[in-house]
Amino acid sequence: MERLQKVIAHAGVASRRKAEELILEGKVKVNGKTEKELGTKVSGSDKIEVNGIQIERENKVYYLLYKPRGVISAVTDDKDRKVVTDFFPHIQERIYPVGRLDYDTSGLILLTNDGEFANLLTHPSYNIDKTYVARLKGIPPKFKLNELEKGIMLEDGKTAPAKVKTLKIEKKQDKAIVEITIHEGRNRQVKRMFEAIGYQVQKLKRERFAFLDLHGLNAGDSRELTPHEVKQLRALAETGNLL
């Protein structure tokens, strides 16, 4: 059992204080009856309406998925291609991806039904590092990669400084494997950054999102985040530091 104002606040309808005001103003109904008492406790099965609209009472859930290539970062697709939520057939809650990875990009993506959490993590002003490994056609020299480290002009503006490291050079095949860490999340950003210095990304994988990685997972696998990881992600987005 939880206090009515807390349940309303958790549903994202109003702040705790605003929820209290709504209750006192007689705008809240529990199982069809107006409830003006602030201390009232409600259970998960009670029907709660605010201004005549029933609130959503799903538990908040948080998952990490190792998205395979060839999957859309959405909950539906008009062309009937595989979507990230297809990997969660057993989940009742209506989860959706936090940000997106391209159809042909694999790697770490989070899914949740917590809108506030999703907004926090995708908001451009919060610094969540995302690390990608790119296979490039051609072998970029250090001075070219330095341009990405300084920030490079794209058609939608200059990128923030990135961290870039060459992991492997395949001379015979004229390919390089390069790791890049950025905290912005613009459309096709990593591919466009490499294109801007003259190199095509042939394969892209997101290896890390903040302190999370794909350790122990194969493409298509998922796991639930621990409550501690969720807390840490919130703290990182809000303050730039872990707890």
| Shortest Å, Cβ 204 to ligand URA | 6
| Shortest Å, Cβ 59 to ligand URA | 29
Q: Which of 102, 104, 156, 221 is catalytic?
A: 102
Q: E strands along the chain, which residues?
A: 2-3, 28-30, 33-34, 41-42, 48-50, 53-54, 62-67, 96-97, 105-112, 130-137, 153-154, 157-158, 163-170, 175-182, 200-209, 212-213, 222-224
Q: Which window, 25-33, 43-51, 182-190, 220-228, contacts ligand URA (CB under 6 A)?
A: 182-190
Q: Which window, 77-85, 116-124, 188-196, 226-234, contacts ligand URA (CB under 6 A)?
A: 188-196
Q: Determine the residue type at 18.
A: K
Q: Which is nearer to ligand URA, 48 or 64 (CB)?
A: 64
User: Should residue 105 be labelled a site residue for ligand URA when binding is judged by CB under 6 A?
Assistant: yes
φ/ψ bin of 169: left (φ > 0), alpha (ψ from -120 to 50), beta (otherwise):
beta
User: Should residue 123 be labelled a site residue for ligand URA when binding is judged by CB under 6 A?
Assistant: no
- Counting beta carbons within 10 angstroms of the beta carbon of residue 180, is it exposed (0 to 12), middle (13 to 18) or buried (19 or more)? buried
Q: Determine which residue in the list 102, 129, 147, 179 makes contact with ligand URA, applying CB under 6 A.
A: 102
User: Should residue 84 be labelled a site residue for ligand URA when binding is judged by CB under 6 A?
Assistant: no
Tell me whether residue 213 is one of the annotated catalytic residues.
Answer: no
Q: Determine which residue in the list 4, 72, 98, 101 makes contact with ligand URA, applying CB under 6 A.
A: 101
Q: Determine which residue in the list 48, 190, 230, 237 makes contact with ligand URA, applying CB under 6 A.
A: 190
Q: Three-class SS of residue 120?
A: helix
Task: Return the DSSP state at 85.
Answer: G
Whole-angstrom distance, CA of residue 150 vs CA of residue 237 = 23
Which residue ranges make up the site for ligand URA (CB under 6 A)?
101-102, 105, 188-191, 204
The residues annotated as belonging to the active site are 102
